Amino acid sequence: MAREQGKKVIVIESKETFDKIIDEAGNRHVLVEFYATWCGPCAIIGPRLEQLAEEYADRLLILKIDVDDHEDIAIEYEVTSMPTFLIIKNKVKLAQFVGSNSEKVESTVEKYCGKPDNTNINTNTTTATAKPTPVATPKANPTRELKENGKSVGPSKSVSPESSPTATIEKKLPRP
């Protein structure tokens, strides 16, 4: 059997369950984290995996496999460090990487699954949303100047800040 950790991340309890979930996932992507209960970095990234499970609920399954309990699966995937992550689709390993860098996990998931679906995010969670604002709105010229880290990076061809996600956000919001 497998048990759910929190709401969405599935903790694998047997090789048979892992194989069954991979078989039944079909066209859906599967993110697998190989972890150990004694691994500090594994524990640190756990809450972010829960968030990703919510954000990608319709496109991604997230599984956790304890390497101490399931050494056979760890050997099969040549896991030597924790955490190790895999992306699997249609029973094919698409990517494998090591480390608890949440940005790497996010960018890899986004690469294979696309942008997160904000409709699946729990509305009880407090998140800040910044609306793009133009740096300059010239009257005679329908372009505006874009800035990155306070430096000009060139004109944008978009006139309306609502139609362009390339407006400056002066302050970075902290990640939840």
Q: Which entry of 22, 31, 42, 88 is annotated as an active-site residue?
A: 42
The Cα 166–Cα 160 span in angstroms is: 10
Q: Is 39 a catalytic residue?
A: yes
Contact 30, 89 (CB under 8 A): yes
The Cα 42–Cα 52 span in angstroms is: 15
Contact 168, 154 (CB under 8 A): no
Q: Which entry of 9, 30, 39, 63 is annotated as an active-site residue?
A: 39
Q: Is 113 a catalytic residue?
A: no
Tokens of 129: 């949303």
CB atoms within 10 A of CB 135: 14
Q: What is the 3-state secondary structure (H, E, C) of 33-95?
A: EEECCCCHHHHHHHHHHHHHHHHCCCCEEEEEEECCCCHHHHHHCCCCCCCEEEEEECCEEEE
| Active site residues per annotation | 39, 42
